[in-house]
Structure 1
Amino acid sequence: MPFSPLDLLFPRRSLTGTAGQWITPDEYARLTSGRVVEERAALRSRGIQALDRIVAASAYPDSPLLKRAIHTLKYRRVPALSDTLVRLMVEGGVPEEADAVLCPVPLHWTRQFERGFNQAQLLARGLSARTGLAYLELLKRQRPTGHQARRTRDERLHALTNAFICTVVLPPACVILVDDLATTGATLDACAQALKIAGTRRVTGWVIAHG
C-alpha cells in the first residue's frame, strides 16, 4: 500500500501494533484458518431458503486476527485493508460459478453516509479486478435494518424481511453476492430472495469469514 501524506497525521499501525503498515507479512500468514464452504443442503437444514452456497476464506470463530482486520476495515474506517482482504479471498478459492457476476451487499444510504464507504463494494470491486468477473450493483436496501450481530436468528429474519429489492428488470442468472462476513447467512439469504424473485436462478455468497 503506497505511502500517503495522511500517514504523517494518522500513522499506520498493523493489527498487532507494528508501525508503518496496516498488516505485516507474519500477520497475513496468520489471518485464515482455512477455506469454508457451506452447500445448499446444509443451508436449507438451518432455514436459509434462497441462498445456494456460502464460500469463505476462513471460519470466523477460529481467526481472532481476521476478526480484528474486519473490525479495523469497517469501524476504524481503514478501507486500504480491503486490498489485503481481497487477496485473502482470492487465494482461498474463487467460487466456480459459470457466467456469474459479482454483486455487493448494499448498505442503507444512511449507514453508508455515516461510514463513508461500503466495505462490500470495496471488496467486490477488488475481486472483479483480480478475477475478471463482472461487477454489477443489482440490489437496494430499502430501509435501515440495524446491527445484526447481537440479534437472535428470529430477530434477524424479522429485521431483514423485504429489506432488499432488485433494481434491474432482468438480473443475471447466476450472482455471487460479496460481503465481509456471514454469521448466520440471514443477510445474504434476504439478498438472494430479492434476486430470485426478480429472476436469478443461482446465488452464492462469497465472504471473508463465515460462522
Structure 2
Amino acid sequence: MSGSIFSLWQDIKDLARSLLYDKESACLLCETHVSGGQVFCDDCKQTYFRPDLNRCSHCGKLLESQHTECEDCVAGRGPKGMEQAVAWGHYTGAWREFIQNVKFKSQPYLLKQLGPPLGDFALRHLPPPHWIVPVPLHDERLGERGFNQAAAMASLLHWELGIPLWEGLHRVQPTAPQVGLSRKERLHNLESVFQIVSSSRGLKQIQGARVWLIDDVTTTGATLEHCAKVLKRGGAAQVYGLVLAAGLEKGQKKDYSASEFGVIIGSDRRESVTIF
C-alpha cells in the first residue's frame, strides 16, 4: 500500500473512530486513560472530589462526619451574608497543584475541560441563579497575572449553562496577601475593598436577583462574605458561593448525647489549607 493511500486510510479510520466510539483522553490530574468524555478518572474523583461526603450547608467545606455544618459555622465563625457556599473538591494533592498552576503559572487554558462536570455539580447543589458573578481582582493584580481565574470559571459556567454574567462587582483597593491571616484579620484586610460599579441598567438587573458568586478557593470565607454583603446592599436577594476547592473537616467523634451533662467525649481534628 503506497504511503499516500495508507495515510488516507488512517484518516478514514480516525474519523470512523471519532464518530462510532467514545473519545479517548487522559485524566486531567493523573493522566490515567479515561473514556466517554470523562475529565477525571474514578480514583481522582474519589480522592479529590469525594462525592460520598457532605458539604457544610453554610460554608461549603467537605465534612467526613454526618453533620450538615462544620464546627466553625456552628460556632459562628463561618461566612455571613450568604445563603450557602459549596466547594467542588478538597484543596489538596493534585487538585491543589492544578488550581495553583492555573493561577500562578498562567495556565487558564487548563480550566476549559471543567465546564461540563463543574456545571453539573453546581446544578445538583445550588438553585439556578439569575446571574453568575466572579470574585474580582484589583487592576494591579490583574495586570500582573494577566487574567482573573474566577472570571475564567464564571465564563465557563456561562457558556455551559447559558446563565448570564454580571460584571458590576469590582475590587477597588489592592490588598495585602491573605496567607497566614486569621479570619478576623482577613475580614479587616477586606474592608471597603469591593464595590458595585455599574450603570443604572446594571443595577436594575441585580435587584431581587439570585446570584452565584464564583471563586477558585475558600478558606475562612472572608472574601465570599464581603462580596456577598456588597451584592446584597446593591439589591441582590440571594447569594450562593461556588468554589473549586476548600478544606476538609475530619470526622468528629463526639457524643452529643452527653452534652446535657456538660461533657463532650472524643476528639475533633480539622485539616487547614493555605490560599495565596
Quick check: 35-44 or 190-199, which moved more?
Answer: 35-44
2:83 matched to 1:64? no
Separation (CA, whole Å) in 1 of partners of 2:128 and 2:40: 33
Please tell me whether residue 197 in structure 1 is matched to residue 228 in structure 2: no
Find the counterpart in structure 2 of residue 39 from structure 1.
Answer: 57
Please point out which of 211, 218, 222 is paired with 1:182. 218
* Mapping of residues 107-118 of structure 1, within 5 Å: 107-118=137-148
Q: How many residues align?
A: 191
Corresponding residue number in structure 2 for 1:82? 111
TM-score (norm 2): 0.62
2:253 maps to what in 1? none
The equivalent residue for 1:154 is: 184
Q: Structure 1 36/89 Cα, relative in aligned 2: closer, same or farther at 3 Å?
A: farther
Measured at CA, do residues 200 and 28 of structure 1 come closer, stay the same or move farther in structure 2, by a change above 3 Å? same
SS at match of 1:208: strand
3-state SS in 2 of match to 1:93: helix
Distance 1:28 1:138, change over 3 A: farther
Identity %: 32
SS at match of 1:192: helix
Distance 1:192-1:124 versus aligned 2 partners, 3 A rule = same
Superposition deviation, residue 70 in structure 1: 0.3
Question: Deviations along 1:110-161, whole A, 9 cap, x unmatched?
Answer: 0000000000111000011111111111201010123213211111010111
CA RMSD of aligned residues (A): 2.5
Counterpart-to-counterpart distance in 1, 2:114 and 2:48: 9
Classify the secondary structure of the residue corresponding to 1:80: helix
- In structure 1, list runs of 5 or more residues that go unmatched: 1-13, 19-23
SS of match in other structure, 2:108: coil
Q: Distance in 1 between matches of 2:101 and 2:174?
A: 22
Equivalence map 1:79-158=2 (5 Å): 79-94=108-123, 95-158=125-188
Residue in 2 that maps onto 1:50: 81
Q: Select between 32-41 and 118-127 the one with higher mean Cα deviation.
A: 32-41
**Matched AA of 2:95:** L
Secondary structure of residue in 2 paired with 1:135: coil
Could you report, residue by residue, the CA deviation over 1:6-55 in whole angstroms, capped at 9, with x for unpaired residues?
xxxxxxxx75699xxxxx85486454233764334955822422122112
Larger Rg: 2
Moved more, 148-157 or 32-41: 32-41
CA distance in 2, matches of 1:126, 1:181: 16
Q: Secondary structure at the match of 1:102?
A: strand
Native 8 Å contact 1:57 1:88 kept in 2:
no
Maintained 8 Å contact 2:58/2:83: yes
In 2: Cα distance, 1:32 partner to 1:123 partner: 17
Residue 85 of structure 1 contacts residue 208 of structure 1 at CA under 8 Å; is this kept in 2?
Answer: no
Counterpart amino acid of 2:148?
N
**3-state SS, counterpart of residue 87 of structure 2:** strand
Q: Distance in 2 between matches of 1:31 and 1:39?
A: 19
TM-score normalised to the size of structure 1?
Answer: 0.79
